[in-house]
Amino acid sequence: MLRSDGHFVLSIWKPKSFCENFLSIIPEDIRINLQERYREMQPIDDVLNKTGFKCIKKIDTIFGDDRTYSHLLENLPKDGYQSEIICHFENAIRQIFPNSKGRLGIYLCKKI
């Protein structure tokens, strides 16, 4: 149960951003099943509002395809900063291309 002022994070894969190698790290049969079953969700604000919640912050992430991230992870120094470097990469994409839509939407939501 969520308190009346409680918060939660919701993430949703965006089907219109599916590319040839969408979620290639997931076994192929599961990936195909996701792509076949996934339908475009109505605007998240509508879904949240109908259920007593509201979105207070939205962020898009995963701008490259899986090969991009695999390449980054394989070639970055193994010093524990890979995630931080990838975050900088994603932030640079957001700044250079402010209207970019990522493959994953992350939403900070609040009970109203």
Residue 110 has pLDDT above 90, yes or no: yes
**19 vs 82, residue with greater confidence:** 82
How many Å from the N-terminal Cα to the C-terminal Cα in the chain?
Answer: 14
Q: Please report the pLDDT score of residue 108 as a whole number.
A: 93
Beta bridge partners of 13: 104
- Give the pLDDT confidence of 1-35 residue by residue, as tens digits: 788 889 999 888 776 665 555 555 667 777 677 66
Which of 7, 13, 10, 9 has the alpha carbon at shortest distance from 41?
A: 13
In the chain, where the domains are located = 7-111
Each residue of 26-70: pLDDT tens digit?
Answer: 677 776 776 666 655 567 888 889 989 999 998 888 877 777 888
Strand order in the sheet with 53-61: 7-13, 104-111, 53-61
Length of the chain equals 112
